[in-house]
Amino acid sequence: MSMPNTASGDTTPQILSILRFLYLGLSLGLSLFPGHLSAQGPTIGTTTYLDSDLQSTSPRALVRDPALIQRIESTPVPQGREFMIQGDQPLQYKIFNLSDPPKLLLLLTNARLSPMVQPMLLETNDIGGMFPSQTDQGDVRVEIGLKNTLSHDIIADGNRLRLTVLASSGPTPRQPEIHGMEAVVESLKTTLMLQGTGPGPTPKVFQLHDPPRLVMDLTGYKGPAVSRTERFSSPEIESASLMANDHKSRLTVTLKGPDIRHELVTRRGLPALVFTQPPQPADTAATLPSRIEAINFEREGDLAVLRITTTSRKTGLQIGRVDTNLRLTLANILLPQHLVRRMDVTRFASPIQTIDTFAKNSDVQMVIRLSDPGAQHEIIETPREVLVRVRPVKAVELDKKEQKAVYTGKKISMDFKDINIHNALKLIADVSQLNIILADSVTGTLSMRLIDVPWDQALDLILAAKGLDKEVQGNVIRIAPMVEIQASAEAKRKTLTSQEQLEPFVTELIPVSFANAQDIATLLKEGVNNEQRGTRILSEGGAISIDARTSTLIIKDIARNIAIIRDLVAKLDKPTSQVLIEARVVEINRSMQKDLGISWGSSYTPDVGDNTNLTSATMVNLGIPSSSGILNLNLGTLSPLLDLDIELSALEATGKAKTISSPRVLTMDNQQASITQGENIPYNAESESGGTTVAFIEASLKLNVTPHVTPNGFIALKVSVSNNSIGSGGSPPPINTKEVTTQALVRNNETIVLGGIFTKGQTDDNTAVPGLHQIPVIGEFLFKNDRKSISQSELLIFITPRIVPSGAS
C-alpha cells in the first residue's frame, strides 16, 4: 500500500478518514452488542432515523413539543409490579438502577408533568413508593423507592411505557381470596364490589346474551367453598353468582337489559364492576354539547365557594376525595381553552388553596387542593350551576359543639330475614333499657342487616322503612304510624289553642329604637318558629299595630305571648353598623406607583368587556394596561405599613401628585354612599322661543360604594366607578362614558386602590428671538421654536372603609 504524500503538510483528509472509520466501527459495535450499553450505564429510549430521513429533514424539524405525562398507574402483576406511564406522544427515556439507596430512576426527557400525577405510597414487600417531579431542564423525573436492589424490564407501547419491577425471590405470596360481594346503588350507577383479600392478577371480562349476562374470570383467586347467589334492588343488575374451583373464581352478573354498560375498576384492592344505564334519546336541543361557561371563586364569611356555571341542566357530576384533594368530574361537557388553568387562591385565606381545571377525553376534571384535611365540603347542584362549598375545620368544630349528637346509643348488630317488627323493636328495648309502647296498627315483617350501628340509629331506620314515627316522653317511647303521630300532635295543638282562647288579652307598648317598626311587625305577623304553636307567634285574636310617629309596637295578646314577643323584639332591635368611607382622588405620575407600594393582582373569569381584576395584597406591580375592556379598572390593596397622608404630601411637594378631592362619607350597613367629582360643561342650546340659551351637561367622576359588615369583622364593598369626559364637536357636546362595577372583601381600616383611569395633557411652549422672529419667511424657521409636550397621568382612587363602633361620635 502506498503512503499518501504529506510533504505539503495538509493532513486534514487523513484525519477525517480515520474519524469516519472509528465512527462506523463504534456504531457497528453498539448495534451488535446493545446489552453492554445498559450494563455500563443507563438504558436509553430513542427514535431511529434512516439516512434518507436525515438528509431530507432539517435540524429544526426534529425538535418536538414536550410530551405531556398524563397519568402513572401502578398494578400488581405475577412478575412483580408494573408502572404504566401514559403520555400524549411517544416518550423518550433514560433509566438508572441505583443501589445506595436502592431505587429506580426513570428520566423522561423533553416532557412536562400533569398536575394530576401525584406520588404513590405503596409499602409492599419490595417497593416503598413512586415519586414524580418536574426538573428545571424540562424533563420529568420518576423515582421508585426500592427496599432492596431489584431488576426491571421496560417496554415502549405507543404513547405508553410499561416499567415492570421484578419481585425478589422471597416467600411465596399469599393467594388472593374472594369470599363475598356487595352492591352500592347510586342515582346514576351501580358498583358491584368483591369482598376478600388482594391484590391479584387482572381478571378477564366478557359478555353473554339471552339472557344478558356479564362474566368476570378471576384466575388465581381462591373462591368460596360453596357457590353464592345474591339478588339486588338495582336498575342495572338483577343478581350475581360467585363460584370457584381449584384454579380460579368466576363472577356471573345477570343484567336488566342488553344495553347496560360496564366498566372494570379497582375498589379496596380488588376488581370491581361499575354498571350504568345506556344514554337516553333526547331531542335536538338536548343533544347539543354542554359547555362550561364560567368558573368563579367566592368567599362567604368562613366559607369558600366555587361556582361552576354550565349550559346544561344535568352535568353527570362525580365526586371523590383523598385527604386534601377534592376531585370533581363533569361528564360529557366541553371546556373552553381559556378556562384550562390553575387558580391560586391561597392569598384569600380560605380553606381552598388551588383549583386545577383540565379536560380529559370528553369529560372535565377539577382538582381542588384544600388547606386542611379536616375541612368539610358540600356539593349543591342547581339548574345550570354546580356549587362547591368548603368549610374550614374551625367552623366545623364550632358547629359540632353547637349541635347535639344525633346518635349516641350503644352499637348493636342485627342480621335478620322476615323478622316480625315487634321482635325487632323488643331487641332494641332490651339494649336501650327503655320502655316501648306499640300501637295496634304496628304490624308486619322486615329484613335487615345492620352491623355495629347505634341502637337509636337502628330504631330510626326501622321506623322509616315501615312508615312509622316515635314520640319520646321520659324513658318511654311510643311508636305508631306517622299519620297517627301527626294526628296526636294536631290534637295537642288544638287543645293549646283552646286554652289560649280562655286567657284574657292584655295590651302592651314596645318601643323600637333602631330597627324599622314596620319590618318587625311584618315578621311577627308572618310568624317565627315556635315549637308549641308551629310557626305562629300571635294567638288567634291577637293583633299588632304600629305608631309610626314614635316607632312603637302596640301588641294585643295573652300575657304569655307578649313575653315571647318582648324578648324577640329585644334581640332584633339592635343598632345597625355604620361604616365611614374615606376616599382620596389623586392624579399621579404613573412612575410613582411603586413609591406608594401599590400591589396589583390577577383576575378570575372576567365577563366580556369587563377588565376588572380582583387582587390580594402581595402580588406583582402593575404593567402596561390592556387595551380591552370598558374601563381597564384594576383593583389592588395598599401596604398596611404605609402612611398614605405622609406619602401623598411628599409627592405633592415635589409636583409628582395632585390631590383632587378627599371626601368622607358615613353610611349605614348595606346602604350606598355616593361621591362625585367633576364639572358642568356649558353649551349653547335652542330655547322654546327659538332663541339661544346656555345649558349645562355634567362630566364627572362618580364613585358609589355599598359596604356590608360581615360577622367576622370583614367589610364587603360593592364599588361602582364611572368616568364621564366631554368629547369633541357637536352641540350638545358628546359625553364619553366609562363605567364598571366590582366587589372586594377587605379588612377593617384597610385601604384599596382603584386605578386604570388615564388622562392625557398637552403643553404648547413657544420660544422666539424678539424682533427677529417677525422677519418674513426666515424668521419663522431660524428665530422661532414651537414645542408640544404630551404627558400621561393616572387617576388613583384610594378607598378606606372603617367600622364605626356603636356610640362613637
pLDDT bucket at 350, cuts 50 / 70 / 90: confident
Closest to 524 measured CA to CA, from 584, 565, 566: 565
Give the C-alpha distances (Å, rounded to integers) separating 375 from 69, 297, 352, 380, 557: 30, 17, 9, 17, 47
C-alpha to C-alpha distance for 521 and 545, rounded to whole angstroms:
8
Q: Which of 89-93, 472-476, 589-593 has the lowest mean pLDDT?
A: 589-593
Average pLDDT rounded to a whole number, residues 495-503: 68
The second-level CATH assignment, the architecture, of 503-572 is 2-Layer Sandwich (3.30)
Which pLDDT score, from 0 to 100, does residue 656 have? 72
Q: Where are the alpha helices (DSSP H) in 527-573?
A: 559-572
The per-residue pLDDT for range 392-448, each reduced to its tens digit, is 865 444 444 444 557 888 888 888 888 899 988 998 988 888 899 998 888 888 888
Average pLDDT rounded to a whole number, residues 300-311: 84
The per-residue DSSP string of 364-412 comes to EEEEEEES-TT-EEEEEEETTEEEEEEE-HHHHHHHHHHSPPS--SPEE
Beta strands of 61-176 (E only): which ranges?
67-77, 80-87, 92-99, 102-109, 111-113, 120-121, 127-134, 140-146, 152-157, 160-166
The per-residue pLDDT for range 241-281, each reduced to its tens digit, is 998 887 788 999 999 888 899 998 888 888 999 999 887 65
The second-level CATH assignment, the architecture, of 290-399 is Sandwich (2.60)
| Predicted TM-score of the model (pTM) | 0.35
Whether the pLDDT of residue 624 is over 70: the answer is no
Sequence spans of domains, the chain: 51-166, 177-276, 290-399, 411-489, 503-572, 579-804
Average pLDDT rounded to a whole number, residues 581-605: 58
Which pLDDT score, from 0 to 100, does residue 621 have? 34
C-alpha to C-alpha distance for 395 and 376, rounded to whole angstroms:
9
Calculate Rg over the CA atoms of the chain: 39
Give the C-alpha distances (Å, rounded to integers) separating 609 from 474, 548, 601, 631, 633: 66, 47, 19, 9, 11
Which pLDDT score, from 0 to 100, does residue 17 have? 60
Closest to 716 measured CA to CA, from 725, 706, 701: 706
Grid cell digits, residue 24: 462506523
CATH 2.60.40.3500 fits 177-276, yes or no: yes
The per-residue pLDDT for range 558-579, each reduced to its tens digit, is 888 888 888 888 888 888 888 9
Strand partners, 742: 719
Grid cell digits, residue 471: 314520640
C-alpha to C-alpha distance for 316 and 363, rounded to whole angstroms:
10
Do the domains 290-399 and 51-166 match in fold?
A: yes
CATH number of 411-489: 3.55.50.30
The per-residue pLDDT for range 85-127, each reduced to its tens digit, is 999 999 998 988 887 788 899 999 999 999 888 888 887 888 8
Mapped onto helix, strand or coil, the DSSP state of residue 339 is helix
Mapped onto helix, strand or coil, the DSSP state of residue 461 is helix
Which of 468-477, 683-692, 768-777: highest mean pLDDT? Answer: 468-477
Q: Give the chain's mean pLDDT.
A: 76
By percentage, how much of the chain surpasses pLDDT 70?
A: 75
DSSP 8-state class, residue 337: G
Whether the pLDDT of residue 597 is over 60: the answer is no
The per-residue pLDDT for range 46-85, each reduced to its tens digit, is 333 333 333 333 333 445 789 999 999 998 888 888 999 9
Strand partners, 381: 386
Which pLDDT score, from 0 to 100, does residue 29 have? 46
β-strand pairing of 152-157 with 160-166: antiparallel
Cis peptide before 90 (omega within 30 of 0): no
The per-residue pLDDT for range 506-521, each reduced to its tens digit, is 888 999 888 888 888 8
Of the options 2.60.40.3500, 3.40.50.10260, 3.30.460.20, 3.40.50.300, the CATH number for the domain spanning 51-166? 2.60.40.3500
For residues 604 and 338, the answer to whether their CB atoms sit within 8 Å is no
Whether the pLDDT of residue 477 is over 60: the answer is yes
Which pLDDT score, from 0 to 100, does residue 202 have? 82
Grid cell digits, residue 675: 361621591
Which pLDDT score, from 0 to 100, does residue 799 have? 87
Which pLDDT score, from 0 to 100, does residue 171 have? 52
The per-residue pLDDT for range 701-741, each reduced to its tens digit, is 888 999 998 877 888 889 888 888 777 766 778 888 777 78
Which pLDDT score, from 0 to 100, does residue 642 have? 53
